[in-house]
Amino acid sequence: MIKSDLVERVMEATGLSKPQAAEAVNALFEGMKEALLRGDRIELRGFGVFQVKNRKRGVGRNPKTGDEVEIPPGKTIRFKPGKALRNLS
């Protein structure tokens, strides 16, 4: 599923026009992006949780040369599916 599929679903479910549905989907994604940039946790009951996790630094290896490469610490986004979503499969 891609973003345009989500816009179509919103159109069907709400009766909004395509530009209005696209604006709603974009607003949702912008809100989620801003929350994650602040380090906030996003909990969608029945779906799952998005949260920012710290990634520790490490040492990797260049597959071509075999040289060790420093991997700097950083942040990553993790998704943990909710119970209802896990039970679907």
Q: What is the DSSP letter of 76?
A: E
Could you give the C-alpha distances from 9 to 25, 72, 87, in angstroms and in order?
10, 40, 23
pTM: 0.76
- Other beta carbons within 10 angstroms of residue 7's beta carbon come to 20
* DSSP code string of 39-66: T--EEETTTEEEEEEEE--EEEE-TTT-
pLDDT in the model for residue 89: 67
pLDDT by residue, tens only, the chain of 89 residues: 999 999 999 999 999 999 999 999 999 999 999 999 999 999 999 899 999 999 999 999 999 999 999 999 999 999 999 998 888 86
As beta bridge partners, residue 55 has 74
21, burial (CB in 10 Å: exposed 0-12, middle 13-18, buried 19+): buried
